[in-house]
Amino acid sequence: MGIFKKSSTEGANYITARESRKISKENRRITDEYEKKKNRKIIPREEYITQMKNSENVVEFDNLHTYFFSDVGVVKSVNGVSFDIPKGKTVGVVGESGCGKSVTSLSLMQLVQRPQGQIVAGAIRFNTGKEVVDVTKMPTSEMQKLRGNKLSMIFQEPMTSLNPVFRIGLQIDEVIQLHYPDMNKEDIRKRSIEMLKLVGIANSEGVYKMYPHELSGGMRQRVMIAMGLACDPELIIADEPTTALDVTIQAQILDILRDLKNRMNSSIMLITHDLGVIAEMADIVVVMYAGRIVEKGTAEEIFSNPSHPYTIGLMNSKPAVGKKVDRLYSIPGKVPNPVNMPDYCYFKERCEMSISDCNGAYPEQIQLSPTHFISCYRYVNDKGENQ
């Protein structure tokens, strides 16, 4: 794009104020277009009602592109991501900080920060149980009906998601009431207490009356899970659900999630930078690097036969089970600048296994088995066919 120049300090980039203003103006023009389309009073149902490619899936990300139009240029946070979440399965999404895990899940919830963040291409098909919608084209008002109902989210820091001035019980009651408007007050209260019991809270009647600050971090996360599950979601999105917790509590929360998933037959999209968590929980693993998927497969395939050099690096830097780490990654080098991605393999600068072919265009996705996919030149000639 030519907006980045190397300064005298190695690796530092700058743009002039004038250039930045020009970019802002252009950004506004682009994002206004997207917003105008989104803010139409009436969006015909035909625009967003669709079909799944495979009826066994609850979600299908199909070539998703989510960009941020920032003052220094376009950040291609999610740059052509495709994967499925089958019914009743846990899909683990792993990759180092900034690779686009959260933006992928926020795209699915229509919670990408607007107007600068926009889904510019691709589809996200979601089977609500009644119909299939393309979330990228759906009106916000319709999406609101799915959030916290068919789709629920569990975040890293439960304190920021719970309202400090209201009692726990009231907050769960509210979620239940919203989704079961015909239920009477007493039945709602009973269900809230039942949900608290379900997530392993022994003194559920007592906790029902408490305020968030009276609970420990682990207890608050249990409450968040109870709220998330109060309305039988088709899909639970858990973004680093245990990162803020200590190891024993972490294990308990994962047990609860696993147990509830089996009981309710929901699917889970589990986002984490911790491969230990993925190994314990996931049926399918998606490995992201710099906004793209570099490898995906069943957990068995990824753990017994990690094939992409980045995945191999992740495995080598995997901490011992039960050891808490803030950052998983220790492969030398840096992720490329997200505003100025190279036109060859994004991992090349850090790859210790590169071959001469790697100077070519970004590698196409190759199929190693019916469920195992990879984007890497090492596999082009000997292990599969270009897709």
Q: Which residues bind ligand ATP (CB under 6 A)?
A: 68, 70, 75, 77, 95, 97-103, 113, 116-117, 273, 338
| From ligand SF4, ligand ATP, Mg ion, none, interface partner of 75 (C-beta below 5 to 8 A by class) | ligand ATP
CB of 273 to ligand ATP, least distance (A): 5
Distance CA 116, CA 112 (A): 9
Distance CA 162, CA 149 (A): 17
Q: In angstroms, what CA-CA distances link 213 with 99, 158, 207, 209, 220? A: 33, 11, 11, 12, 9
CB of 332 to Mg ion, least distance (A): 23
Task: Give me the residues that bind ligand SF4 (CB under 6 A), please.
Answer: 309, 345, 347-348, 351, 353-355, 358, 363, 376-378
Phi, psi values for residue 259, rounded to 5°: -65, -45
Distance CA 100, CA 364 (A): 19
| From Mg ion, ligand ATP, ligand SF4, none, interface partner of 170 (C-beta below 5 to 8 A by class) | none
Nearer to ligand SF4, 132 or 376 (CB): 376
Nearer to Mg ion, 224 or 366 (CB): 224
Nearer to ligand ATP, 75 or 193 (CB): 75
- Which region among 61-69, 99-107, 158-166, 250-258 touches Mg ion (by CB under 5 A)? 99-107
CA angle 13, 343, 135 (to 5 degrees): 95
102 contacts Mg ion (rule: CB under 5 A)? yes
CB of 108 to ligand ATP, least distance (A): 12
CB of 287 to ligand SF4, least distance (A): 11
CB of 155 to ligand SF4, least distance (A): 32
CA angle 357, 359, 361 (to 5 degrees): 95
Distance CA 170, CA 184 (A): 14
| From ligand ATP, Mg ion, ligand SF4, none, interface partner of 68 (C-beta below 5 to 8 A by class) | ligand ATP
| From ligand ATP, Mg ion, ligand SF4, none, interface partner of 338 (C-beta below 5 to 8 A by class) | ligand ATP
253 in Cβ contact with 224 (< 8 Å): no
CB of 268 to Mg ion, least distance (A): 16
| Alpha helices in 199-274, H assignment, sequence order | 204-208, 217-229, 247-264
| From ligand SF4, Mg ion, ligand ATP, none, interface partner of 103 (C-beta below 5 to 8 A by class) | ligand ATP
| From Mg ion, ligand SF4, ligand ATP, none, interface partner of 99 (C-beta below 5 to 8 A by class) | ligand ATP
**What residue ranges in the chain does DSSP mark as E strands?**
5-6, 13-14, 57-70, 73-86, 90-94, 117-127, 132-134, 151-154, 235-239, 267-272, 284-289, 292-298, 366-367, 373-374
CB of 77 to ligand SF4, least distance (A): 20
CB of 103 to ligand ATP, least distance (A): 4
What residues have CB less than 8 Å from 185, skipping those under 6 apart? none
Copy the structure tokens of residue 360: 């070519």
| From ligand SF4, Mg ion, ligand ATP, none, interface partner of 154 (C-beta below 5 to 8 A by class) | none
Residue carrying structure tokens 């920032």:
70
8-state DSSP, 386: B
User: What's the CA dihedral at 279, 283, 286, 287 to 10 degrees?
Assistant: 20
Copy the structure tokens of residue 246: 């200590």
Nearer to ligand ATP, 75 or 201 (CB): 75
Nearer to ligand SF4, 147 or 348 (CB): 348
Nearer to ligand ATP, 195 or 271 (CB): 271
Contacts with Mg ion, residue ranges (CB under 5 A)? 102
